[in-house]
Amino acid sequence: MDRIFAAIFTPEFLFSVIRVSTPLILGSMAALICNRGGMLHIAFEGVMLSAAFFGMLASAVTQNIILGLLGAVAGGLLISMLLGYFNLVLNSDRTLTGIALNTFASAGTVFALYLLVQDKGTSSSLPSLVVPNIDIPILKDIPVLGTVLSGHNALTYAAFLTVFITYIIIFRTPLGLRIRTVGENPNAAASVGINVMKIRFITLAISAVIASLGGAYMSMGYLSWFSRDMIAGRGFMAIAAQNLGAALPLPSFLASLAFGAVTALANVLQTLNMPSEIIQSLPYVATLIGLGFFGYAAQKSGRKRTKAILDKARAAEGEKS
Amino acid sequence: MEQNILSMENITKVYPNGFVANKGVNFSVHEGEIHALVGENGAGKSTLMKMLFGSEKPDEGRILLHGKEIQIDNPTVAIQYGIGMVHQHFMLVPSLSVADNLVIGMEPKKKGLYDVAKAEEITREAAQKYNLLVDPQAKVVDLSVGLKQKVEILKALVRGAKILILDEPTAVLTPQETKELFVELKHLKTQGYTVVFISHKLNEVKELCDRVTVLRAGRSIGMANVADVSQQDISRMMVGRDVRLDIEKDKPHPGDTVLKVSHINKVNALGKQVLKDVSFSLPHGVILGIAGVEGNGQSEISEIISGMDRSFDGEAEINGKSIRNMTVRQVRESGVAHISEDRMTYGIVGDGTIAENIISDRYYKKEFQKGPLLDQKKIDEMVDDLIEKFNIKCDGKDQPIRMLSGGNMQKVVAAREFTNHADLIIANQPTRGIDIGASMFLRNKLVELRDAGAAVLLISADLSEVMEVSDRLIVMSGGRISAYFEDASEVTEEDMGLYMLGLKQMTPEEIRRASS
């Protein structure tokens, strides 16, 4: 037990929380935007996986980080635009299409990987470029705080920034107002001449760009290669995080950090010779517990509120008579 | 000579499922008039107006604006031509503010961001100019129906509408709100705006409109100056024959109490108290009407008594037994039948056949079983009999119910709910959206059932229906009973309106009579 606490109460642990939270933060912002626009889907897993693969490929081929990131975004957009086409144009079921695209991305990337490097596991023989880490001047010299917050991957800082940008887009721009309108009452949007399908495609596209950065982080930061199914459920955890955050940017960000903390904890415990099968399931168990607790708390506070309102009303009646 | 600002010539519209909604319809309006478009439900009024607003395209015919032919491909184009529409179901986003709703699609910008202050200013100015007073910062979800309608009218006006189409605007309003709306519309008329007023309430047409066009079964039957025709004339044009619009019934003979609800309180999911200390009782042989503007607690009462909602405070008893811990089936078996206000969700299974829909409340009973299977022969006999008795127009009992018209669907629901020997029949908006013929059929059925001893709870937003059919009346406002009338025939519409709006409230003693 002591060894565990010793491992957790260190600046290095908090640093790793932020490190593993990065794809969850980006993923949850992407899911949040889709949710606001009434387009929440389950293909973030596929979007991020495709982005991770194309990020690796583009950066390895061009030896240029920017082009690598653009490749990742293109890879993510590919999946999400396919989803848009099937769901919005051909009227397919969004969940079924999401399942199909997730499996397609999983198998398709392995297939392409094999064609490229004759390996079905990783692209280690075709390493991707890694987005550089950034030391923040002044901050990096502050003890503890510097260790925790400075020296992260540039994409991690981009993730923090995305939380703010998401808030601006959704709540402060005309486009955000339209996204929310389409999400809540598409007929109302159509009746004032808003092109509902266009807004939905834009919603999917913005969200895919953000999720793609999360995918790129996996193969161009967290690791320096692509490996099969490397998103490993993060796309789903991101959906859960924005759900716990009630589709609001800051609470969703905090929920992502919470899931990240559990993942980091699992990583630490693994180094301490705990049975890895159990440890590795921790983040997923945490997601389940999080969702269950959220539902329970909402129900309980609802009941409490009901009682309070009724009591108050009765008291008011009593005074009158 | 007055000028036609807008005319629709020889319009035909056939829906993909083969339904002919409009056939060779002619319709034209003068600049600056209030023009009524009347017809029964299903006569094609809404379809005609949808084509004017660009949500549907005509298959034949042309539309002329100021004498020039125009194509209206979508609502954006309609708005550009100065045509605005206030839909029957409001096109508003509940979680947003009034100002947000007003400017969606034409948002004011400041440095690329949405300028909320400017949006509120636009709202305030428009509200002043057109004398439609609303609070720009209020959330739409908190507004009354009347205020929501004002927001909708403003929404069309700030987009530059010169021709305003209102689709049954008074269907959801109290008499007082209706009066207010008429003043506002007449005010717009003096400012040069043209109004198309869709309705089937002929007294309103007489009061408000200059001319009237009548549609029947998708065709235009005629056009007249309102001053030259009587309500009877218009009604004959609408229906094609003289229809008796009054209900014949004798005095009620109350028996033992069937339904008793006491001190029911309920807080909904949004934390709003939707029922406040509601108590009343209902004996055999009586029709108790619940009137009120929609959303004042009537739906909640219906859901609680039918057993669909169990999260309430207080007590509800059927034949002396509490239903609090009963399942819906147990509630039904203790003698409750229920016509839900949401026909498509709770009334029917769209893809199911007429027969399947009718037996859905009784398929499990011994009399319809033959070993482990359903007794098909017996079911067929019963269903054929009911189709005839309830005068359901269909191709046979195996036709999917979604192919039927709204009126015939509701007759199927009635064929199920009126034949399970219930002591209490809850009829929640039983005639909403169905034609006059079917409505009269169902209303008379309710009276028949009451004469046979059933207790009927009639919930309706249609004021004339609830006043005419009911023996006793409750008025709901803001989740509480604001009035109780022992004899529905001695109440006036004006009085009802005041109680519906909550402007008048009976004393607790007077209301207590409802539970005696």
Residue A267: pLDDT over 90: no
> For residues A64 and A248, what is the distance between their CA atoms, to the nearest angstrom?
35
Q: How far is A187 from chain B (nearest CA, A)?
A: 6
Q: Under 8 Å CB-to-CB from B288, ≥6 apart: which residues?
A: B280, B282, B455, B456, B457, B458, B470, B471, B472, B473, B474
| B109 in A contact zone (CB under 8 Å) | yes
Of the candidates A174, A188, A313, the beta carbon closest to that of B93 is on A188
Measured between beta carbons, the chain B residues lying within 8 angstroms of A317 are 277
B184: its two tokens: 């506002």
> For residues B48 and B43, what is the distance between their CA atoms, to the nearest angstrom?
10
B486: its two tokens: 């022992």
The pLDDT value recorded for residue B245 is 62
Length of chain A: 321
Measured between beta carbons, the chain B residues lying within 8 angstroms of A164 are none
| Nearest CA-CA partner of B63 in B96, B22, B95 | B22
Q: What is the DSSP string of A171-239?
A: HHSHHHHHHHHHHH-HHHHHHTT--HHHHHHHHHHHHHHHHHHHHHHIIIIISSS-BTTTTTTHHHHHH
Residue of A nearest to B103 (CA): A192
| B104 in A contact zone (CB under 8 Å) | yes
Residue of B nearest to A181 (CA): B93
CB distance A173–B87 less than 8 Å? Answer: no
List the single range of A235-244, A278-287, B32-41, B100-109 with lowest mean pLDDT.
Answer: A278-287
Q: What is the CATH number of domain B4-239?
A: 3.40.50.300
| B107 in A contact zone (CB under 8 Å) | yes
> For residues A47 and B245, what is the distance between their CA atoms, to the nearest angstrom?
62
pLDDT band of A64, cuts 50, 70, 90: very high
CB distance A188–B113 less than 8 Å? Answer: no
The pLDDT value recorded for residue B242 is 61
Query: C-alpha distances in angstroms, A212 versus A103, A208, A310, B221, B437?
Result: 17, 6, 49, 61, 59
CB distance A193–B95 less than 8 Å? Answer: no
Domain locations in chain B as residue ranges: 4-239, 247-335+423-516, 345-420
Measured between beta carbons, the chain A residues lying within 8 angstroms of B79 are 192-193
Q: Quick one: three-class SS letters along B365-410?
A: CHHHEECCEECHHHHHHHHHHHHHHCCCCCCCCCCEHHHCCHHHHH
Q: Give the number of A-B residue pairs with CB atoms closer than 8 Å.
A: 83
- Cβ-based interface (< 8 Å): residues of A facing B: 168, 172-174, 176-178, 180-181, 184-185, 187-194, 302, 305-306, 309-310, 313, 317, 321
A55: its two tokens: 């990020």
Residue A321: pLDDT over 60: no
Cα torsion angle, A274, A275, A280, A286, sign: negative
Interface predicted TM-score (ipTM) over 0.90: no
CB distance A310–B92 less than 8 Å? Answer: no
| B277 in A contact zone (CB under 8 Å) | yes
Residue of A nearest to B277 (CA): A314
A285: its two tokens: 């168990």
Query: C-alpha distances in angstroms, B12 versus A251, B7, B26, B58, B371?
Result: 54, 14, 10, 6, 54
Q: Under 8 Å CB-to-CB from A315, ≥6 apart: which residues?
A: none
Q: Under 8 Å CB-to-CB from A113, ≥6 apart: which residues?
A: A53, A119, A120, A122, A123, A226, A228
Of the candidates B100, B104, B159, the beta carbon closest to that of A194 is on B104
User: Which option is the CATH number for A2-279: 1.20.950, 3.40.50, 1.10.3470, 1.10.760?
Assistant: 1.10.3470
The domain covering B247-335+423-516 belongs, at the CATH homologous superfamily level, to P-loop containing nucleotide triphosphate hydrolases (3.40.50.300)
CB distance B104–A178 less than 8 Å? Answer: yes
For residue B27, the cross-strand partners are: B8
The pLDDT value recorded for residue B1 is 43
Place of tokens 């008291």: A315
CB distance B104–A177 less than 8 Å? Answer: yes
Place of tokens 């993060």: A234
> If you average pLDDT over residues A62-79, what whole number do you get?
97
B113 alpha carbon, distance to own chain's centre: 40
Same fold, B4-239 and B247-335+423-516: yes
Which of A36, A165, A177, A320 is most worth mutating to test chain B (most B CB atoms within 10 A of its CB)?
A177
Which of B90, B102, B104, B512 is most worth mutating to test chain A (most A CB atoms within 10 A of its CB)?
B104
| Nearest CA-CA partner of B146 in B167, B175, B123 | B175
CB distance A191–B113 less than 8 Å? Answer: no
> If you average pLDDT over residues A256-280, what whole number do you get?
86
Q: How far is A182 from chain B (nearest CA, A)?
A: 9
B266: its two tokens: 């309920």
What Rg value do the Cα atoms of chain A yield, rounded? 22
Q: Under 8 Å CB-to-CB from B32, ≥6 apart: which residues?
A: B189, B192, B193, B194
For residue B426, the cross-strand partners are: B338, B457
| Nearest CA-CA partner of B31 in B221, B223, B188, B204 | B188
> For residues B109 and A174, what is the distance between their CA atoms, to the nearest angstrom?
7
Q: How far is A181 from chain B (nearest CA, A)?
A: 6
Place of tokens 């929609």: B294
A295: its two tokens: 């539902």
Q: How far is B78 from chain A (nearest CA, A)?
A: 9
CB distance B91–A174 less than 8 Å? Answer: no
Query: C-alpha distances in angstroms, A199 versus A177, A181, B73, B105?
Result: 11, 10, 19, 11
Residue A193: pLDDT over 50: yes
Q: What is the pLDDT along chain B (516 residues), one digit of tens a residue?
A: 467 899 999 999 998 877 788 999 999 999 999 999 998 877 888 889 999 998 889 999 999 999 999 999 988 899 999 999 998 888 999 999 999 999 998 999 999 899 999 999 999 999 999 989 999 999 998 888 889 999 999 999 999 999 999 998 987 788 888 899 999 999 999 999 999 999 878 889 999 999 999 998 889 998 999 999 988 888 888 877 665 567 888 999 999 999 999 999 998 877 788 999 999 999 999 999 999 888 899 999 999 999 999 889 999 999 999 999 999 999 999 999 999 998 888 999 989 999 999 999 999 999 999 989 999 999 999 999 999 999 898 888 999 998 887 888 999 999 999 999 999 999 999 998 787 778 889 999 999 999 999 999 999 988 888 999 999 999 999 899 999 999 998 898 888 888 998 888 999 999 999 987
The pLDDT value recorded for residue A319 is 66
What Rg value do the Cα atoms of chain B yield, rounded? 25
Q: Is the whole-model pTM more than 0.80?
A: yes
> For residues B410 and B428, what is the distance between their CA atoms, to the nearest angstrom?
12
Measured between beta carbons, the chain B residues lying within 8 angstroms of A305 are 267, 271
For residue B8, the cross-strand partners are: B27, B63
Residue of A nearest to B110 (CA): A173
Which of A182, A192, A303 is most worth mutating to test chain B (most B CB atoms within 10 A of its CB)?
A192
> If you average pLDDT over residues A203-229, what whole number do you get?
96
Measured between beta carbons, the chain B residues lying within 8 angstroms of A191 are 55, 75, 85, 87, 91
Of the candidates A177, A188, A302, the beta carbon closest to that of B114 is on A177
